[in-house]
Structures are given as structure tokens and as C-alpha cells.
């Protein structure tokens, strides 16, 4: 009966097409049980490597070595001086906020779990399969997308941002990773097509009335794409 009750609760939540933001807008004061996570008492101490891409002009081999070490040990790294304009990044973050702050009626047409649609708004891609839902909503946009497919808040921003990340950062990182593997610089891009199929996923984390009961962030996971570039929100 507990499983059946949970399934009904999940379906009811998903059926609102309003996501977690809809709960907040409705004035919820308690986190629904479908979002309850078991306490995680594991302590994680991790030093994230920082790689300055501007130093490639004077020592590319050193940067390749840094990328190789980070990929082999940590699995990710932070890049600075990457060439993607601050204005484009700020505009993308503002567009995601603007979409999520829109009325439910404006967002509902994009709410779907149909993976055939290139633009999808939803709360938790694994809502019906995970042990507990995460306190977040996501707008997913596969590029290139036709302007009419994108929400109004993102039409003039997302394609430009995706293009800049692809051309100025993606190509650079793939070249460095190719060399770190002992291959020629253009291998991953030209022979493996790893620069194709760029997508933008905008995660939104509404204010939570009981953050100690749920997960604000993401659980451990592996992405299905070759390379993920995370635009971190400054705090």
C-alpha cells in the first residue's frame, strides 16, 4: 500500500505540470514525502583542480598535463579564462530564472516526459524510478532548436550561449583531452564527432521550507554525454 500511495503522489505532483516551483508558489510549508531523502553522513573532502586556459599560449604541454591528471584522478575540473563572455553566461542564467519565474500557464506547454521533444521542462527526469525526488526543476533544450520551439525567455539567449560554449570552450577542451590521450589534437572532434549534439540543461532550485529533509543539488550520477560543461552560479 505504501508503494501505491507513493505512486499516486508522484502522478499527482507530475500532473500539475508546475514542478517544485509550483509547490513553492502555492505556499507549501512542509516538504512532501516524495522528496524526503535519507540522511547522508558521509564526509566528502575533494580538491577541485583549477585550469587556466589562458596559459596555453606560453605552455600548452603543461595545460595538457593538468587536464590529463584531473581527468585520471578527480574526473572533472574548473576552467578559468575560457573565452565565453561573462555577458553571455549571465544572460543564460537570467533566461533560466525568467522562465522558471513565469506563470504556470506559460510553462505547462513545455512540461513533458516525451524524450522525442527537443525542448522539455520537467521536475526530475527519474521521478518515477528514483528512491526520492530532488528539490529542483529542469528546462532541457537540444540544439539547434527552432525559435518557436524555445520558451520566449530563452529564444535569443540559449542558441547564442550554446554556440559560444561549443566553439570557444568545447573545441578547446576536446583538443586538450585528445592530446592527453596521446592522440592528435582534432581526434575527438573530427573523428569521433564529440562536438556534435550540444544541449543546454537549466536546473532551478526553488527556496525550500525544510532543506534538511530533501536534497538541494544532485545525487551521484554519470551523464550519458561525452562531456558536461557546468555553468556555476556565483554566490
Quote the pLDDT of residue 208.
Answer: 96
Domain ranges for the chain, please list them: 2-37+83-213
Quote the pLDDT of residue 43.
Answer: 55
Quote the pLDDT of residue 44.
Answer: 67
Tell me which residue of 137, 134, 150, 47 sits closest to 97, measured CA to CA.
Answer: 137
- Tens digits of residue pLDDT in 85-94: 999 999 999 9
Tell me which residue of 84, 46, 81 sits closest to 63, measured CA to CA.
Answer: 81
Quote the pLDDT of residue 57.
Answer: 85
Q: Which CATH number fits domain 2-37+83-213: 2.60.120.20, 2.60.120.10, 2.60.120.330, 3.90.1720.10?
A: 2.60.120.330
- Tens digits of residue pLDDT in 144-175: 999 999 999 999 999 999 999 999 999 999 99
Task: Compute how many other C-beta atoms are within 10 angstroms of the C-beta atom of residue 177.
Answer: 21
* Confidence bin at 64 (pLDDT 50/70/90): very high
User: 40: left (phi > 0), else alpha (psi -120 to 50), else beta?
Assistant: beta
Residue 98: DSSP 8-state: H
Tell me which residue of 161, 173, 19, 163 sits closest to 101, measured CA to CA.
Answer: 19
Quote the pLDDT of residue 41.
Answer: 53
d(CA 158, CA 121): 15
d(CA 168, CA 79): 12
CA angle 2, 136, 46 (to 5 degrees): 105
- Tens digits of residue pLDDT in 73-123: 998 999 999 999 999 999 999 999 999 999 999 999 999 999 999 999 999
Which residues on adjacent β-strands are paired with residue 141?
119, 200
Quote the pLDDT of residue 99.
Answer: 98
* Confidence bin at 126 (pLDDT 50/70/90): very high
Q: Is 136 within 8 Å of 204 (Cβ atoms)?
A: yes
d(CA 166, CA 198): 7
* Confidence bin at 218 (pLDDT 50/70/90): confident
Residue 94 host element (H or E): helix 86-100
Amino acid at each position: 500500500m505504501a508503494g501505491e500511495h507513493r505512486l499516486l503522489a508522484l502522478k499527482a505532483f507530475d500532473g500539475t505540470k508546475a514542478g517544485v516551483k509550483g509547490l513553492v508558489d502555492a505556499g507549501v510549508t512542509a516538504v512532501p514525502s516524495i522528496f524526503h531523502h535519507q540522511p547522508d553522513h558521509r564526509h566528502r573532502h575533494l580538491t577541485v583542480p583549477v585550469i587556466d586556459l589562458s596559459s596555453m599560449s606560453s605552455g600548452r604541454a603543461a595545460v595538457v598535463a593538468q587536464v590529463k591528471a584531473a581527468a585520471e584522478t578527480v574526473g572533472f575540473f574548473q576552467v578559468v579564462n575560457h573565452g565565453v563572455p561573462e555577458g553571455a553566461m549571465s544572460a543564460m542564467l537570467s533566461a533560466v530564472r525568467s522562465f522558471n519565474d513565469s506563470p504556470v500557464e506559460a510553462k505547462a506547454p513545455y512540461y513533458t516526459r516525451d524524450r522525442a521533444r527537443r525542448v522539455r521542462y520537467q521536475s526530475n527526469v527519474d521521478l518515477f524510478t528514483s528512491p526520492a525526488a530532488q528539490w529542483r526543476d529542469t528546462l532541457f533544450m537540444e540544439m539547434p532548436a527552432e525559435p518557436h520551439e524555445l520558451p520566449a525567455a530563452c529564444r535569443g539567449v540559449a542558441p547564442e550561449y550554446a554556440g559560444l560554449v561549443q566553439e570557444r570552450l568545447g573545441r578547446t577542451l576536446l583538443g586538450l583531452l585528445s592530446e592527453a590521450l596521446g592522440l592528435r589534437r582534432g581526434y575527438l572532434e573530427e573523428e569521433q564527432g564529440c562536438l556534435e549534439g550540444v544541449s543546454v540543461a537549466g536546473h532551478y532550485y526553488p527556496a525550500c521550507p525544510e532543506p534538511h529533509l530533501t536534497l538541494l543539488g544532485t545525487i551521484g550520477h554519470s551523464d550519458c554525454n561525452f562531456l558536461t560543461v557546468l555553468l556555476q552560479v556565483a554566490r
